[in-house]
Structure 1
Amino acid sequence: MALKSRSIVLEGPKRMVLKEFPLPKIGPDEFLLKVEMVGICGGDPIEYEGRNKKTRFPLILGHEVVGRIAEIGHKAAEYYGVKVGDRVTVEPYIICGKCYYCLNGLYQFCQNSRVYGVNVSCDTPPHLWGAYSEYLYGAPGARVHLIKPEIPAEAACMSAVLGNGVRWVRRLGGVRFGEAVVILGPGAQGLASVIAAKEAGAHPIIVVGKTRNPRKWELAREYGADYNIDITVQDPIAAVSNITNKGMAEVVIETTGAAHMMELALELARPAGRVIMVGTCGFEQNPLTTDLIVFKELRVIGGLGQSWDTETAVSIINSRKYAVEKMVTHVYPLNQAEEALKFYMNNTGEAIRVAIKP
């Protein structure tokens, strides 16, 4: 095994450099992961541009990760049920296990928050707190899930993304068999929500948005969408009304963060429906017609991250029912991480998800 890890360090906004860090000595309740692939999360550009107030520079980005256990302590091996050589995905959140939120199953709000690739500086030993790196440090409180050997890395590194979809659709949306679900936005998070809605037995599943990439529409259909509505060529309110025989949707998942799509979510929900808002807009204040919430008695729920939902997502990925790997359209080597990130941020509609392979 190597004695050092090559890692891409974000020294400050828009300043990335390649550095080496010594591999840490692994204690009884820790592990070391040899990174196989890491996805570029939709939040990574926010850290890259310095727009996340929680970011602590210098930082190694990356938390949508799959790899193999390179070293593990005896307590961690017993706790996780894994051994050296096993292939695993690691969740973004590191649980303190002591605060109110961790003890109540909401560890994405941990009061002692540590999130891989987001808010732990690589100045903090043992340095390897992000997956834009050859190795990732497995801290006590990390959550680990076994990935079958035959699963493509591109699918395995999407476990957190699919975990989000499971949380929004099943846990927060409470989708029941036969309920109409509308998903706003055909990006990776929208496609993950399609899979989760299909697994929940939703019908019809309707994806609404606009895209220059027809591959997104194709994948939505492949994953279980019954209808795709392009708002540049169709009136989405009339289309959903027609599909549902004027009933509209029991559940609407809004993944874009665009003001007009948030407003549209309220329009597409039926009376007493549930609207799950997960798209972000950089804390801009966007107007909403709140009378729609009042007069329709809508339940509007925010969705952040995943807690206890990644395990379900991994079981879906391991089942091979869906070609989740098709969401990853471009893969770059580690030394081109900044180029990969810029491509993801500025692409002309070619990419769905971009990944880095150390």
Structure 2
Amino acid sequence: MTVKVKAAVLTEKETIEIMEFPIPETGDNDALLHVEACGVCGFDSEAYLYGGNGVFQLPCVIGHEIVGRVKNLGHKAAERWGVKEGDRVVVEEYIPCGACNNCLTGNYRQCFDLRYGAMNINNEKTALWGGFAEYMYLHPNSIIHKASPNVSPELLQLYIPISNGIHWVQEVGNTKVGDTVLIQGPGPMGLGAVIGAKEAGAGKIIVTGMSKDEHRLKMAKEFGADHTFFADTQDLVKEVYEVTNGKMADTVINAATAPQQLVAALDLAGLRATVVHSGTDEKLSQNLMSSKITWKLLTIKGVLGRPTSAVGVALRVIESGKYPLEKMVTHSFPVEEAAKAVRTHAYGEDGCIHVAVVNEKF
């Protein structure tokens, strides 16, 4: 008798259905993952609200901030990944080819043949690619990291926002000890950037958000922010000027998706500062003042996730217990209620900050 497992499938705009799929067969080079927890990301919410996006082609199992236990592990896969059956791991969303120039130079996030951990259920060997499921297929080229068995999976699934924040602030933003870091957007990525700035030894950490983000800004202070400001009711340039004695920020992290964030960053950045931009809004270019970039000698860098090296650092931070990360995971839902989980995140319901889909232990 074929064993079937449940998965949450995004079938159309704002529609997620619970379906059953057979557990796929595995061989020497691959494995299965019993999913323990999977965070809801902005890409998931975007696909939910708009009926797919450039990453997720419907119908598909979404979810890519994944933590679980390795099962049905092939011999060659065990050697390649350095894990054994039953180990807890986190799984990156990327499935690169491993052979193109981007992969060979460590830039696998820009792989020419990149697949993501959520693929159309009609186009692949198995439908079980995404994390909003009881089990997930681990492709031979999956990128996995061993994680502590002693830390809650609901905390470990924060590895993406925290590793992004560490990479964006420290490696891309080139933040040095004593620098002023300003973070626009107190969502999960912004809070991860607060941790990244704190770990880098930043001298001053400033976080901006909207009035509705008051509870998130309070959490930013718990994570180490020195100042928080409301972009919709306060003069950010004036406030930042005052708390930095006119120097403004050495590093600006755009961790929100508001159309005005890149424009605002040019004013909030100090001389020779670096602006790290994670947004995708195409309406920004007409509002940018290139003279500010020129006269301030600004460096503007785009970011796309994080390299694998940052994931290990993030896991050690989570495992250290240095930050009250449990306050960041405000909502958890079983896989059967994945639709409610994604809707809660997409519409910011009930004061949510980070939402997780979890499975009970089998």
TM range (shorter): over 0.9
8 A contact 2:3–2:23 mirrored in 1:
yes
8 A contact 1:102–1:110 mirrored in 2:
yes
The answer to whether structure 1 residue 227 and structure 2 residue 227 are counterparts is yes
Give CA-to-partner distance per residue, 1:157-207, whole Å, 9 cap, x none: 111121111221111111111111100111111000000011111110111
- What SS does the corresponding residue of 1:311 show, helix, strand or coil? helix
- 1:13 equivalent in structure 2: 13
CA distance in 1, matches of 2:349, 2:70: 37
> Match of 1:291, as an amino acid?
S
**1:232/1:92 CA distance change after superposition, 3 Å:** same
Give every structure 1 segment of 4 or more consecutive aligned residues whose post-TM-superposition deviation is greater than 6 Å.
none
Give CA-to-partner distance per residue, 1:123-180, whole Å, 9 cap, x none: 2112211011000111111111122122122210111121111221111111111111
| CA drift at 1:325 | 3.0
| CA drift at 1:285 | 4.3
8 A contact 1:211–1:349 mirrored in 2:
no
- 1:121 equivalent in structure 2: 120
| CA drift at 1:233 | 4.1
CA distance in 1, matches of 2:344, 2:19: 22
Taking the TM superposition and a 5 Å limit, the aligned residue runs for 1:148-187 are 148-187=148-187
TM-score normalised over the length of structure 1: 0.94
8 A contact 1:152–1:325 mirrored in 2:
no
- What SS does the corresponding residue of 1:238 show, helix, strand or coil? helix
CA distance in 2, matches of 1:211, 1:138: 42
> Match of 1:315, as an amino acid?
R
| CA drift at 1:345 | 1.5
- What SS does the corresponding residue of 1:215 show, helix, strand or coil? helix
Taking the TM superposition and a 5 Å limit, the aligned residue runs for 1:278-297 are 278-281=278-281, 283-286=282-285, 287-297=287-297
CA distance in 1, matches of 2:231, 2:113: 42
Indicate the larger mover: 180-189 or 79-88: 79-88
| Unpaired segments ≥5 residues, structure 1 | none
Indicate the larger mover: 215-224 or 201-210: 215-224
**1:178/1:349 CA distance change after superposition, 3 Å:** farther
- 1:93 equivalent in structure 2: 94
| CA drift at 1:50 | 2.3
The sequence identity of aligned pairs, in percent, is: 38
| CA drift at 1:349 | 6.1
- 2:201 equivalent in structure 1: 201
> Match of 1:301, as an amino acid?
K
The answer to whether structure 1 residue 110 and structure 2 residue 95 are counterparts is no
- 1:57 equivalent in structure 2: 58
- 1:303 equivalent in structure 2: 303
CA distance in 2, matches of 1:121, 1:248: 46
Give CA-to-partner distance per residue, 1:4-56, whole Å, 9 cap, x none: 22111122333322111111122112111101111111111222222513432
Indicate the larger mover: 170-179 or 345-354: 345-354
Give CA-to-partner distance per residue, 1:187-245, whole Å, 9 cap, x none: 11100000001111111011112242433122211211111112344321111111111
- What SS does the corresponding residue of 1:150 show, helix, strand or coil? coil
8 A contact 2:344–2:350 mirrored in 1:
no
- What SS does the corresponding residue of 1:43 show, helix, strand or coil? helix
Taking the TM superposition and a 5 Å limit, the aligned residue runs for 1:240-255 are 240-255=240-255
8 A contact 1:155–1:323 mirrored in 2:
no
> Match of 1:31, as an amino acid?
A
CA distance in 2, matches of 1:162, 1:247: 27
CA distance in 2, matches of 1:107, 1:324: 29
**1:199/1:64 CA distance change after superposition, 3 Å:** same
| CA drift at 1:299 | 0.4
8 A contact 2:52–2:58 mirrored in 1:
no
CA distance in 2, matches of 1:188, 1:15: 24
| Unpaired segments ≥5 residues, structure 2 | none
8 A contact 1:256–1:280 mirrored in 2:
no
8 A contact 2:98–2:141 mirrored in 1:
yes
Indicate the larger mover: 337-346 or 298-307: 337-346
- 2:320 equivalent in structure 1: 319
CA distance in 2, matches of 1:180, 1:346: 32
